[in-house]
Amino acid sequence: MTSAAGDGSPRRILVTAALPYANGPIHIGHLVEYIQTDIWVRFQRLRGHRTLFVCADDTHGTAIMLRARKEGRSEVDLIADMQASHLADFGGFDIQFDNYGSTNSDENYRLCRQFWEALRAAGLVTERSVRQLYDPEAGTFLADRFVLGTCPVCQASDQYGDNCDKCSATYSATELINPRSTLSSATPEVRDSDHLFVELEQLHDFLEDWTQNGEHLQPEVANYLKGHFLGEPLRDWDISRPAPYFGFEIPDSPGNYWYVWFDAPIGYVASTSQWCEQHGERLTDWWQNPDTEVHHFIGKDITYFHTLFWPGMLRTAGFNLPTKVHIHGFLNVNGEKMSKSKGTFIMASTYLKHLDPAYLRYYFASKLGPRLDDIDLSPSEFVAKVNSDLVGKVVNLASRTAKFAAKLGLAPDYPDDGGLFERGAQAGQAIAVAYEECDYAKAMRLIMELADQANPFVENAQPWVLGKDPGREAELRDVCTVALNLFRQLAVYLSPVLPRLAQQCGELLNDEIRDWDQSQHPLLGVSVNKFKHMLKRVKPEDLQAMIDESKQAPTDEQSSAGEAPAEGNDPWNDSAEPLQAEPLADTCTIDDFVKVDLRVARIVAAEHVPEARKLLKLTLSLGGDVRKNVFAGIKAAYEPEALVGRLVVCVANLAPRQMKFGLSEGMVAAAGPGGADVFLLAPDSGARPGERVH
């Protein structure tokens, strides 16, 4: 096994993205993960590694059953329609799976039985009676998300059946005060039913070693698992649901069905099995071979299932454990959760009506780092990035020279370019490492630095002037040869992100982009085809049309508490309330401002301060051995474990202050009125600890 940045033999890599639930269409928040994964897969193939990318629809559960019942059709018809919709959306964004299956397949049922038999044989399955809420009108037991009631701890109303959004208490749905079903508004009945459990605690030592050895998880994920779950006995995992339920009936427990989170991850293996059957390969080579890497890409909301339950199941059944679980954050728009009323909850199909998918692929790549930080989509930044980087820097190299090269071809020998191509070739190693580590933001930054160096060459050479002088054709050909080779080099590096642009480059220069090493050697002595349009500039009115189409009137389910209504036709018109509550301070001079040294810092440790009601103690790294301890009044808004690894903005030159809890050596920057409504300011993932905030 070799790194993608090394020179070893090809790797065998199996890649999965989380299975989208077959109860709704794909939206741009989902696309963060699928674009991230597709980029990584394309990069690995460009490096010459054998890479298989599988996925499937997650099709089982109560929600599917109830929707099908409401629409008067079978669950099978419903999930078939949703699969066709999902595949159309993915295809529109150039996300290409080798196999896209369904958890409601023969292959998945066969593998579920195999995993189940292994769990039974290992003595991990136990049975006991469970008290559950039952909806007598809907005729079904209620999952926690289908129950609302009053929190038994803080008395907050309209809380779901597992935890309270207000006080963060966890409880059983049967403990809710005045519960009601969200399906029918009926008052649920308490009924007993027999459930099957997996005793995960028996695998505690294995799971602690696997999660904490530093090889498979991001450091903040390992810390989260250590702090939240592995510090005490692991709870038994409720693996069954009683009828009625849409799913696979458990063979040795009639009337009970495997819970959706049992058969969903097995869907990764089942989808691989389908591909193997179609291509004459053996499943064991991909899932029971130590030479095969398994890489899962998931969102941070399903960390628990993929880092505890799933590794335990794989080990027990004798399948490959994940080589790496790559976990990403969520998508916000303009710093807020996506909103249907503001038009920022955008479906993939709606986006495709108005904008080029390449724009979103590049924007996400420019934001995605190797950690769990949420990413923000700013419409103004979106327009600026696409128009400046892709059109103004990359495509510009080809559009300003290709029409001349179509007549002259490329020179047989590479002209003197002042070392531009060689510097670009040398940068390939750092770019490859960034791709391998899922630090796409860094990769895009390095690539755009090359574009910034290439464009002045064209500006200074002025091929549009040379083209008017027949006596300077040789000089013009040399200029075009340099410019188009620099464009091709950028297109190779960008091809995992922008496969259509790479294809257009190959068609222009009669040389298909298929290998990373094409960035290392110039293309010479070949004819050039007529230049065809590649990428056009984003028009703000196209973006606005997409937002307008996505707007929906707010409902009780869609609106967030305190969400300010949009005014006029501007969906970005924010409420004036925060500014009214805390007016702008008196004007300061630039000399006043530069006295405050703001630095990027990483939270390397966070803990409660037992004697303090509002404070958390944070240990900040500013790079190297520089550490600062800070007491921050954010206890009501953040759990300490969730902060470890996060980038923040630190007031680094604040005079230390002795508090009764210890010495506070700075401040972290945050917004919000206080209490639970405090929001730490976070730099983009490409920023590094110690960098100054200007």
pLDDT, tens digit, 9 for 90 and up, residues 165-223? 777 677 888 999 999 998 889 999 999 989 999 999 999 999 999 999 999 999 999 99
Which has more confidence, 20 or 341?
20
CATH code at 281? 3.40.50.620
CA distance 323 to 567: 49
Residue 649 reports pLDDT greater than 80 = yes
On whether the CB atoms of residues 231 and 222 are closer than 8 A, the answer is no
CA distance 179 to 175: 9
Which has more confidence, 155 or 553?
155
Q: Do 474 and 608 share a domain, yes or no?
A: no
**Domains in the chain: how many in total?**
3
Residue 246 belongs to a domain:
no
Give pLDDT tens digits for 428-487: 999 999 999 999 999 999 999 999 999 999 999 999 999 999 999 999 999 999 999 999
Q: Do 378 and 342 share a domain, yes or no?
A: no
Give pLDDT tens digits for 592-617: 777 898 999 999 889 888 878 789 99
The distance between the two most distant Cα atoms of the chain, rounded to a whole number of Å, is 93
On whether the CB atoms of residues 118 and 321 are closer than 8 A, the answer is no
Nearest to 221 by CA among 324, 146, 314: 324
Residue 138 belongs to a domain:
no
Phi, psi values for residue 204, rounded to 5°: -55, -50
On whether the CB atoms of residues 56 and 313 are closer than 8 A, the answer is no
pLDDT score of 5 = 44
Q: How confident is the model at residue 556 (pLDDT cuts 50, 70, 90)?
A: very low
Own/partner pairs, 626-633, CB within 8 angstroms, 24+ separation:
626/690, 628/601, 628/652, 628/665, 628/666, 629/662, 629/663, 629/664, 629/665, 630/664, 630/665, 630/666, 630/667, 630/668, 631/659, 631/661, 631/662, 631/664, 632/667, 632/668, 632/670, 633/674, 633/678
Q: Do 381 and 500 share a domain, yes or no?
A: yes
Q: Scanning the structure block, which residue is given the tokens 């799933």?
A: 310
Give the end of a domain, one of 501, 520, 539: 520
CA distance 359 to 686: 19
Nearest to 337 by CA among 384, 375, 368: 375
Which has more confidence, 582 or 42?
42
pLDDT score of 488 = 98
Q: Do 464 and 381 share a domain, yes or no?
A: yes
Q: Scanning the structure block, which residue is given the tokens 């910034």?
A: 452
Residue 370 reports pLDDT greater than 80 = yes
On whether the CB atoms of residues 482 and 457 are closer than 8 A, the answer is yes
> Strand order in 616-621's β-sheet?
627-632, 616-621, 598-608, 647-651, 667-668
User: What tokens appear for 207 in the block?
Assistant: 């799971």
- Percent of the chain with pLDDT strictly greater than 70: 93
CB atoms within 10 A of CB 495: 26
Give pLDDT tens digits for 506-534: 999 999 999 999 999 999 999 999 999 99
CA distance 486 to 406: 17
Nearest to 95 by CA among 352, 303, 328: 352
Residue 139 belongs to a domain:
no
Q: Do 323 and 391 share a domain, yes or no?
A: no
Please state the three-class secondary structure of 364-392 as a single string. HHHHCCCCCCCEEECHHHHHHHHHHHHHH
What average pLDDT does the segment 252-276 reach? 97
Q: How confident is the model at residue 578 (pLDDT cuts 50, 70, 90)?
A: low
pLDDT score of 691 = 87
Dihedral sign for Cα 279, 282, 283, 289, please.
negative
- The identity of residue 449, as a single letter, is E
CATH code at 411? 1.10.730.10
> What SS3 state is found at 296?
strand
CA distance 527 to 408: 8
SS3 content of the chain, % helix, strand, coil (to 5): 40, 20, 40
Residue 202 belongs to a domain:
no
Helices (H), 437-498: 440-461, 463-466, 473-494
Nearest to 115 by CA among 306, 269, 260, 295: 269
Nearest to 246 by CA among 237, 261, 258: 258
Owning domain of residue 641: 590-680
Q: Do 329 and 429 share a domain, yes or no?
A: no
Helices (H), 189-258: 204-212, 219-225
Q: How confident is the model at residue 685 (pLDDT cuts 50, 70, 90)?
A: low
User: What tokens appear for 486 in the block?
Assistant: 């620099």
On whether the CB atoms of residues 198 and 311 are closer than 8 A, the answer is no
Nearest to 319 by CA among 285, 343, 367, 351: 285
Residue 574 belongs to a domain:
no
Q: Do 477 and 412 share a domain, yes or no?
A: yes
Nearest to 178 by CA among 187, 191, 169, 166: 187
Please name every residue paired with 195 in a beta bridge, in sequence order, or none if there are none. Answer: 128
Q: Do 313 and 391 share a domain, yes or no?
A: no
Give the end of a domain, one of 472, 495, 520: 520
On whether the CB atoms of residues 244 and 65 are closer than 8 A, the answer is yes
Q: Which 8-state DSSP code applies to residue 174?
A: G
Residue 61 belongs to a domain:
yes
> What SS3 state is found at 663?
strand
- 177-181 and 237-238: which strand pairing? unpaired
Q: Do 343 and 419 share a domain, yes or no?
A: no
Give CA angle at 161 (157, 165), nearest 5°: 55
> What SS3 state is found at 445?
helix
Q: Do 404 and 516 share a domain, yes or no?
A: yes
Average pLDDT, the chain: 90
What average pLDDT does the segment 619-645 reach? 87
pLDDT score of 8 = 64
User: What tokens appear for 44 in the block?
Assistant: 């690995």
Predicted TM-score (pTM) of this structure: 0.78
Residue 276 reports pLDDT greater than 90 = yes
CA distance 257 to 245: 7
CATH code at 599? 2.40.50.140
Q: Do 424 and 494 share a domain, yes or no?
A: yes
Residue 544 belongs to a domain:
no
Which has more confidence, 375 or 572?
375
Residue 631 belongs to a domain:
yes
CA distance 551 to 403: 43
What average pLDDT does the segment 611-633 reach? 89
pLDDT score of 611 = 78
CB atoms within 10 A of CB 356: 17
Q: Do 307 and 379 share a domain, yes or no?
A: no
Give the end of a domain, one of 520, 538, 571: 520
